[in-house]
């Protein structure tokens, strides 16, 4: 233990990261000091370099790296992924459909947040609706972002956007957090069966959207490049353990009745490693995301995934990660 390098990590406590946070799996040569917080709070702490390694919005990292910010290197470890059809809400009495969004008013807390970029990619790709075809109302961003040429009106924040939707001042709301009035029955999702829509999108495009990644202080990486390899192996081992636990039907660890069926469905649609880490396994999804940022004018040049992320990749099949104990 005395020879281990102490490393501060700021990252969410997810089933795929918990084995690292609680010491079930250890990163070779490292003693991890784990801290967690809600995503936006965590992002701000990571940007202030409170941690050596931290969780970060994919959009923010992509935007600042494209602009030449070299304070951090991207690790192709993705602790958060999510389909975002289910993030679009309308009033429960609304007849609005995705095909009819052109000319409508949409609210979102942050125009440049990763989820919003993926939703705009979805609308452009599936329905031919560009960002300029809608009027965007935004809240004040918690994480500093570049200004958007499409976000025309700033309002008070998520709560105000929800009130505007109920009043009819907005036609639709994009929110990664379910509004309180959704549970009360005053709102519905744009897609009544969002899960079916998300599965159809996954089958058509082969993309499971990445939301967050990990970043590492560049000076630390340049002085100790082995740390990136150790972290990648450890996070990969933790994810493999998570896969095993999700399929434990002896005494299920997760409070869901059909969890094993959900895992089997995810593997049928997205492959056995449906939550992949590594640059090569995620090249398509990362390229798609960067293309969308460029198309929207949120970045002035088009980087390749290799310009943002270290070329770390998964261990060959059948080879046990060294980090697993």
Q: How many residues does the chain have?
A: 325
Q: What mean pLDDT comes out for the span 20-40?
A: 96
Look up the pTM and report it.
0.93
Domain of 10, CATH number, reads 3.40.190.10
Do 92 and 194 belong to one domain? yes
Could you report the per-residue pLDDT of 139-195, keeping only the tens digit for each? 865 444 444 545 567 777 888 999 999 999 999 999 999 999 999 999 999 999 999
Could you report the per-residue pLDDT of 257-285, keeping only the tens digit for each? 999 999 999 999 999 999 999 999 999 99
Do 99 and 196 belong to one domain? yes
* % residues pLDDT > 90 (the chain): 85
As for how many domains the chain has, the answer is 2
Do 148 and 220 belong to one domain? no
Check pLDDT > 60 for residue 1.
no
Residue 141 has a pLDDT of 57
Residue 143 has a pLDDT of 44
Average pLDDT, the chain: 91
- The answer to whether position 240 is within a domain reads yes
Q: What mean pLDDT comes out for the span 30-38?
A: 97
Show which of 205, 237, 263 is a domain's final residue.
205
Do 186 and 93 belong to one domain? yes
Could you report the per-residue pLDDT of 35-70, keeping only the tens digit for each? 999 999 999 999 999 999 999 999 999 999 999 999
Do 264 and 180 belong to one domain? no
Which residues, in sequence order, are CB contacts of 51 under 8 Å at separation 6+? 8, 9, 10, 35, 45
Check pLDDT > 60 for residue 246.
yes
**How far, in Å, CA of 62 to CA of 114, rounded?**
10
Three-state DSSP at 288 gives helix
* % residues pLDDT > 70 (the chain): 92
Residue 319 has a pLDDT of 36
**320 band by pLDDT with thresholds 50, 70 and 90:** very low
Q: What mean pLDDT comes out for the span 1-26?
A: 93
Do 163 and 187 belong to one domain? yes
Check pLDDT > 60 for residue 288.
yes
Check pLDDT > 90 for residue 92.
yes
Do 32 and 174 belong to one domain? no
- The answer to whether position 64 is within a domain reads yes
Do 214 and 293 belong to one domain? yes
Residue 316 has a pLDDT of 44
- The answer to whether position 122 is within a domain reads yes
Read off the tokens for 160.
């105000």
- The answer to whether position 324 is within a domain reads no
∠ CA 211-163-97, rounded to 5°: 60
**324 band by pLDDT with thresholds 50, 70 and 90:** very low
Check pLDDT > 50 for residue 5.
yes
* Most distant CA atoms of the chain, gap in Å: 64
Do 115 and 156 belong to one domain? yes
Do 78 and 150 belong to one domain? no
- The answer to whether position 321 is within a domain reads no
Residue 325 has a pLDDT of 42
Q: Residue 192 is part of which domain span?
A: 85-205
Could you report the per-residue pLDDT of 104-132, keeping only the tens digit for each? 999 999 899 999 999 999 999 999 999 99
Do 34 and 65 belong to one domain? yes
Where do the H-state alpha helices sit in the chain?
A: 18-21, 39-47, 58-66, 114-127, 158-167, 180-183, 194-205, 218-223, 226-246, 259-270, 283-295, 305-308
**How far, in Å, CA of 117 to CA of 58, rounded?**
10
Do 167 and 273 belong to one domain? no
């Amino acid at each position: 233990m005395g020879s281990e390098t102490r490393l501060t990590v700021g990252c969410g406590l997810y089933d795929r990261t918990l084995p690292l946070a609680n010491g079930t799996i250890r990163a070779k040569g490292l003693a991890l000091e784990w801290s967690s917080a809600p995503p936006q709070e965590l992002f701000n702490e990571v940007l202030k370099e409170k941690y050596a390694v931290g969780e970060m919005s994919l959009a923010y990292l992509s935007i600042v790296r494209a602009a030449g910010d070299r304070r951090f290197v991207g690790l192709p470890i993705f602790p958060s992924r999510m389909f975002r059809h289910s993030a679009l809400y309308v009033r429960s009495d609304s007849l609005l459909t995705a095909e009819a969004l052109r000319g409508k008013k949409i609210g979102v807390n942050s125009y440049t947040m990763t989820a919003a970029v993926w939703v705009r990619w979805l609308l452009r790709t599936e329905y031919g609706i560009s960002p300029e075809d809608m009027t965007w109302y935004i809240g004040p961003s918690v994480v500093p972002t570049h200004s958007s040429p499409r976000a025309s009106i700033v309002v008070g924040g998520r709560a105000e956007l929800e009130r505007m939707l109920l009043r009819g001042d907005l036609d639709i709301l994009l929110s990664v957090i379910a509004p309180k009035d959704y549970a009360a029955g005053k709102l519905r999702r744009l897609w009544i069966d969002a899960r079916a829509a998300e599965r159809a999108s996954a089958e058509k495009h082969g993309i499971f959207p990445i939301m967050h990644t990990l970043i590492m202080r560049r000076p630390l990486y340049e002085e100790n490049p082995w740390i990136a390899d150790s972290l990648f192996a450890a996070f990969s081992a933790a994810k493999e353990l998570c896969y095993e636990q999700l399929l434990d039907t002896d005494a299920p660890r997760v409070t869901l009745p059909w969890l094993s069926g959900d895992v089997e469905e995810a593997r049928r649609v997205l492959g056995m490693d449906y939550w992949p880490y590594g640059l090569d396994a995620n090249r398509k999804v990362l390229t798609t995301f960067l293309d969308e940022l460029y198309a929207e004018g949120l970045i002035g040049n088009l980087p390749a995934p290799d310009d943002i992320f270290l070329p770390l990749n998964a261990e060959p099949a059948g080879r046990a990660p060294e980090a697993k104990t």
